[in-house]
Structure 1
Amino acid sequence: MNTITREFSRTFADRNLGFITQERTERKTSRVGFLLLENFSLPCFTQALDVLVTANLISPGAVRVHTFSYNHAEVMSDLGIPIRPDTPLTDIRLSDLDLMVICGGLRAARTVPNWLSGLLKKIAKLPIALGGLWNGAWYLGAAGLLDGYRCAIHAEQRTALAERAPYANVSHDPLVFDRNRMTSATPNGAFDMMIRWLSHGASPQLADAVLDTLDSDQSKHRSFQKPQQPKVSKALREVIALMEANLEEPLCPEQLAQVVGLSIRQIQRLFKDQLNTTPQKYYFQLRITEARRLIQNSNASIFDVSIACGFVSCTHFSRSYSAFFGHPPSKEVRYEI
């Protein structure tokens, strides 16, 4: 008996990337270091770190993260929470990095000690990208490493950096990517920066999957949008909202059309033009995706999950699940049991 396999559409592929059984392929691990300065911005650091940790949850081994400090000593954050670095600041450790991010903060010292200036200039000679969080650009600029580059820095030091590094183009943007320099001025900018780096250093698909996992309300909280993300009209959003609110008892095409005041043909055209799929396929993949989430995050039985997501036959649900994910629902990881 042949096994039927199905692929998710673009909309749902990102949401389910980490849960689809795939053949393991050789890939390059992206190695990122964070140099923590005294009074560094903990919100910026955790926003950036959350992206990378989530990437490893979705695709184990995709990223390796190292934290550094001067003399490998514990560093106090701007919120009074100390962080102990996990890696000594040695040449052999540095040479293994793809990106080194300087973590500054509002109360981080403006003076640039010789050890830091020398370290940054040493890194700049290696094939390593340099980044800065909050006012990390200040230290890069003071070391002459932003000459000819655009950069972002917190508004409190924007004018001062323009004076300190006259050959740098100091932007008002919260995030700037310019060749092998990337700088952000806010916690949201730090999040965006790591998403962009992940797309470059790992894969665009993994970056999209992380973004879908962590940022469910992009329109409200985000300044960075996924590349090639389709724009969804108000009418289509209404149809999708109806689908999301009616998983256990899916609405038929006639019911959807009646509620939103459109014809079935008009709804079909909206899905085709904006999401390159059909309403039936979208609804089905929505229900399969929500079933996966429910299995992973509850102790509900497979039968109860199938009913909750609109499958009248548990056998049909199991076959459909296996076709999309490569394993039956009974083999799915349970986080809450």
Structure 2
Amino acid sequence: MHVCLILFPGFPMLALSLVREVLRLANAQAEQRLFTLTVRTVNGAAVTDRDGTQVAGALPDWHGAQGFDLVLLCAGEAPLTALPMGLRAFLLRADAAGATLGGLDTGGTILARLGFLDGREAVLPDSAPAELPENVKRIALSRAPFALDRQRLTTAGGLAVADALTAWIARAQGPALAADTAEALAHGRMRDAGRCQRMAITADPLLERMQSIMAARIEAPIAVEKVATELGLSPKQLRLRCRKGLNRTPAQIYLDLRLARAEQLVSETTLPVSEIARAAGFASPSAFTRSYHARFGAPPRRPRHSGVARTESEQAATRH
């Protein structure tokens, strides 16, 4: 799959580094070159990042849009300054060919200005409503770190770029590769051989996609009705599909994924329960503790990183 990253003057270097690293790790985890990256500058000349580091230019011939699966705009503090005439046409061709269009940090402001976020959920900088009052009226603004809504990917700044790109990988290549990539990025190493995923196994590609959507929104869960909408189904149709394919409701499957994430954090980190509850998308530590205890038979306060092997009962709880 081919990714195109277009750099604008004043872009954040961290975003460029994260895009490169996430794709590199995804290829390493897959043990094949699934993803390629083309980096362009918006004006064809060298551009300077926010801290003054210069990146060599690449001619923006605005051809080849149909060859990309993901096109990302990475901009600086004045993203709407001197937008090139060929950019919108390039994005229109990429969109028509099925590419996901993305805005990293203020890159989302450019997509909004060009009308590509109309009717979509999107994450935009705080300055966007003042800069684009009419455009923003047609956008469902989100306060989440990123939003991935119907071939549109927008992110806040900083590390949210890695989370957003991993969510796109989950949708494009499956949740297992996305989880492997995220763990490699977090720990600076590859996933241990033989470590299994906790996704429910199904032969139904639609249910695979459903789990990818859910896995991408663990920290900030979305309503099951919205998951159904993204899949082109009614909530009732999705429930029937889940009952037939996995013998569980969509809400139960979503909870399984969130608790699996929580159990991983309990086992592998020293985070306090309140932080784990938040990372797993629970409204409060008490609600998280009740759900965790009901699933694993013990509260989420087991010794972590103590160097002592877990007890047999804990290992059994992990397997269920």
TM-score, length basis structure 2: 0.61
Q: Give the CA deviation at 1:194.
A: 0.7
- Per-residue CA deviations over 1:248-286 (Å, capped at 9, x if unaligned) read xxx6xxxx7xxxxxxxxxx3222222x218xxxxxxxxx
Match of 1:72 in 2: 44
Question: 1:161, 1:170 within 8 Å by CA — same for their partners in 2?
Answer: no
Q: Give the CA deviation at 1:74.
A: 1.9
Match of 1:35 in 2: 6
Match of 1:231 in 2: 262
Q: What CA RMSD, in Å, does the superposition of the two structures yield over aligned residues?
A: 2.8
1:208–1:196 Cα change, 3 Å: same
Paired residue type of 1:268: E
Larger RCO (CA within 8 A; separation ≥ 6): 1
Inter-partner Cα distance in structure 2 for 1:35 and 1:142:
16
Q: Does 1:242 align with 2:286?
A: no
1:168–1:236 Cα change, 3 Å: closer
Inter-partner Cα distance in structure 2 for 1:49 and 1:87:
20
1:214–1:104 Cα change, 3 Å: same
Match of 2:286 in 1: none
Paired residue type of 2:312: Q
Question: 2:145, 2:155 within 8 Å by CA — same for their partners in 1?
Answer: yes
Identify the match of residue 118 of structure 2 among 147, 158, 166: 147
Structure 1 unpaired stretches of 5+:
1-29, 218-222, 257-266, 278-337
TM-score, length basis structure 1: 0.58
- Per-residue CA deviations over 1:185-218 (Å, capped at 9, x if unaligned) read 212221111110111222322211111111149x
Match of 2:91 in 1: 120
1:208–1:187 Cα change, 3 Å: same
Match of 1:81 in 2: 53
Inter-partner Cα distance in structure 2 for 1:206 and 1:146:
28
1:116–1:87 Cα change, 3 Å: closer
- Secondary structure (helix, strand or coil) at the match of 2:305 reads helix
1:215–1:225 Cα change, 3 Å: farther
Match of 1:169 in 2: 140
Q: Give the CA deviation at 1:182.
A: 0.6
Inter-partner Cα distance in structure 2 for 1:110 and 1:174:
25
Inter-partner Cα distance in structure 2 for 1:64 and 1:87:
18
Question: 2:10, 2:48 within 8 Å by CA — same for their partners in 1?
Answer: yes
Match of 2:173 in 1: 202
Inter-partner Cα distance in structure 2 for 1:165 and 1:147:
8
- Secondary structure (helix, strand or coil) at the match of 2:167 reads helix
Question: 1:76, 1:83 within 8 Å by CA — same for their partners in 2?
Answer: yes
Inter-partner Cα distance in structure 1 for 2:128 and 2:111:
13
Paired residue type of 2:34: A
Q: How many residues align?
A: 221
